[in-house]
Amino acid sequence: MNLFLDYQKKFLDYLKILKKKKIIDLPVNLKSLTVELPPKAHVADVSCNAAMILAKFNKKTPLDLAYILKKEFLENFKEFEKIDVAKPGFLNINFKINFWKNYLFKVIESNTNYGSNRNLQQKYNIEFVSANPTGPLHVGHCRGAILGDVLSNLLKFNGHLVTKEYYVNDYGEQIKTFVLSVYHRILEITEKKAFPLDKNLYPGDYIIEIAKKIVRKKNIKNLKNFDHVYEKLVKESLKFSIDLIKSNLDDLGIKHDNFVHESELIKSEFVSKTIKKLQKDNYVYEGKLPPPKGELPKNWKIRDQLLFNSTLFGDDTDRALQKEDKTWTYFASDIAYHAHKINRNFDILINILGADHAGYIKRITSAVRAISKNEVNLVCKVSQLVKLFKKGKPFKMSKRKGDYITVEDLVKEVGKDSVRFMMLNRNSDVELNFDFEKVTEKSKDNPVFYVQYAYARINSIFAALKLDIKNVIKLVNEDFTLNQHEIEILKKISEWPRCVEISSLKLEPHRIPFYLYDLVTLFHSYWNLGQKNKEFRFILQDNSFNNSRLLLLQALSMVIINGMSILGVSTPKSM
């Protein structure tokens, strides 16, 4: 039910009829034909560029051809009230009021499906967050978490099958450091031993909490030797750490469908099997890498090592798969993990990456192309940094020092709804400033409040009239009438399916809150008109009302609910 795409198709079909009648000529390809909203200076419902793109092919000026098409369109499309020709050749079209009446009823009939496009169902795997399980989530993870979750909601809204996945990097040196930190906190609790002043250890308070939980369980005995209890300690420490991460995600309203552990891929030899398969396909070889650019790492030396030939797939250099001690690199495990995804027959893989992982895209894209024989599409979306401001001063974060702002802190301060909405207030590929004061204001400057307030106002009208907003309003012995302000709101409602489509195709869910804010701005402006002029009030002094307006409000409320559901933000009926 995309008004713009529907009329783009109708115009294309009718232009072909005009060609058969030898009224116009058509090129083979007409992809550049568009149906859009006209500029605000023109009072029209939709605008078409047909005359402009066909003028040269028909050896006419765009204006001359526009007047020919105007005549033909008015004769064929009975729902058109009028067509104005605007320089250099646009056709600005107004619909009859009966068209908008029918459209409005279709919107209400569609209800929660209005705007969704379920023509092609695909199977998606969206991996997001995937923070090292060495502590709670901080604001740096928050934006990517919400981006992944809302993108999942958006694709589900369009009928796609989506698996939300978390890849647990529970193998390697950072895990040993984390577990060693927990171990020393346990000794601090049980034997009063001072926590070492080692810069590599994690000193955050959450380490103390994990240590206390392990001590209370009493599952690990004889803590004299770290190496002897290491395996049990890893299991217990990671369990509590992942529980903490899941709790942080729950604070944000996020629940993953699946957790895949790096350690399990290694223990099951899935990593070695994947690398052997690539070796068999001649994508892995023994060789030497040139020295890295810039200052050389300490003890660096040229050596023979196992390499993935990622330059075959457009990467800048080939990539190491084994360390000097022959253990697998992080990249080797990551290749295996993506092979694991491919084996589960997803149509499209989406990775949400942090700003510090942007340089990782080429190599992992190369690996997916090699593993899947170019049959699986991997899309990487980078979530840029979030800068927190409070009272004009920035907050700083440092995971090692333990003085960063956690997701739990942020949600307690401003609430889940504000966090989710505002983290999508800009495109994910640019930095975002998160102002604590702004997101707690009850004003137009706080977008989430402004959208929620519109929904509450609409509900207050139905409550005052003692009507159920979910019951369809019937027009009995009453003409359908909307003024120009109401038509503008309805035109914006008609844009919702296009907003959903573009957001889905471009994987840019930030378009949803932008659209909702623009939509409710029209509503609030109209509400304010009613305070000054009785003609524009939804409820008159004698408690009478206009059913046409109530229908419009029902449709508006449905779009707000659909949009906010995709964002995972609540719609309170009163505020």
- The string of pLDDT tens digits covering residues 20-34 is 999 999 988 888 899
CA neighbor of 184 nearest in space, from 168, 198, 174, 195: 195
What architecture is the 3-95 domain classified under in CATH?
A: 2-Layer Sandwich (3.30)
- For the segment 28-74, what is each residue's pLDDT rounded down to a tens digit? 888 889 999 888 778 899 999 999 999 999 999 999 999 999 999 99
Contacts for 83 with CB less than 8 Å, ≥ 6 apart: 70, 73, 74, 91, 92, 93, 94
If we measure between CA atoms, which residue out of 224, 240, 229 comes closest to residue 191? 224
Backbone angles phi and psi of 133, in degrees to 5: -80, 55
Q: Among 1.10.10.10, 1.10.730.10, 1.10.540.10, 2.40.170.20, name the CATH number for the domain at 447-567.
A: 1.10.730.10
Which is nearest to 491 in space by CA: 89, 107, 69? 107
pLDDT above 90 as % of the chain: 71
Over residues 246-258, mean pLDDT: 97
Q: Using alpha carbons, select from 2, 14, 34 the residue that is nearest to residue 78.
A: 14
For 161, residues 6+ apart whose C-beta sits below 8 A from its C-beta are 121, 122, 123, 124
- Write the pLDDT tens digit of every residue in 326-346: 899 999 999 999 999 999 999
b/e string for 372-409 if b means 16 or more Cβ within 10 A?
beeebebebbbbbebebeeeeeebebebeebebbbbbb
Classify residue 563 by burial, with Cβ atoms within 10 Å: 0-12, 13-18, 19+.
buried
CA distance 359 to 362: 7
Average pLDDT in the chain: 91
With a CB cutoff of 8 Å and minimum separation 6, the contacts of 82 are 74, 93, 94
Q: How far is Cα 556 from Cα 535, in angstroms, rounded to an integer? A: 20
Of 557, 486, 553, 548, which is closest to residue 522 (Cα–Cα)? 486
pLDDT higher than 60, residue 530 = yes
What count of residues does the chain have? 575
Tokens for 196, please give them.
Answer: 């070492």
Host H or E run for residue 47: strand 46-48
pTM over 0.85: yes
Within 10 Å of residue 484's Cβ, how many Cβ atoms? 7
The tokens for 153 are 């909601």
Residue intervals in the chain for CATH 1.10.730.10: 447-567
158 and 116 in contact (C-beta within 8 Å)?
yes
Contact 560, 520 (CB under 8 A): yes
Q: Tell me which amino acid residue 55 is.
A: A
Q: 377 - beta bridge partners?
A: 348
For the cut 80, the answer to whether the pLDDT of residue 11 exceeds it is yes
- Using an 8 Å Cβ cutoff, are 315 and 289 in contact? no
**The pLDDT value given to residue 403:** 57
CA distance linking residue 5 with residue 11, whole number of Å = 10
Higher pLDDT, 405 or 275: 275
Q: Is the pLDDT of residue 540 over 80?
A: no
User: pLDDT value at position 402?
Assistant: 52
**Domain boundaries for CATH 3.30.1360.70 within the chain:** 3-95
CA distance 356 to 132: 14
Query: What is the rounded average pLDDT of the residues 213-240?
Result: 92
Q: Across residues 440-467, what is the average pLDDT?
A: 93
Distance of alpha carbon 113 from its chain centroid, rounded? Answer: 19
Q: Taking 90 as the threshold, does the pLDDT of residue 301 lie above it? A: no
What is the rounded CA–CA span in Å between residue 237 and residue 254? 23
CB 473 within 8 A of CB 554: yes
Segment (H or E) for 516? helix 511-532
Cβ-based burial of 477 (10 A; exposed 0-12, middle 13-18, buried ≥19): exposed
What is the average per-residue pLDDT within 113-133? 92
Q: What's the whole-number mean pLDDT along residues 91-113? A: 93
Q: Among the CATH numbers 3.40.50.20, 3.40.50.300, 3.40.50.620, 2.60.40.10, which is that of 123-170+258-383?
A: 3.40.50.620
Measure the N-to-C terminal CA separation of the chain; round to a whole number of Å.
32
Region 83-110: mean pLDDT is: 94
Give the CA count within 13 Å in the CB-facing half-sphere of 374.
Answer: 3
pLDDT at 397: 47
CATH 3.40.50.620 maps onto the chain at: 123-170+258-383
Residues 17 and 508: beta-carbon distance below 8 Å: no
The predicted pLDDT at position 439 comes to: 86
Question: Per residue in 382-414, pLDDT tens?
Answer: 999 888 887 778 766 444 445 567 899 889 989
Angle between helices 484-494 and 97-110 (to 10 degrees): 50
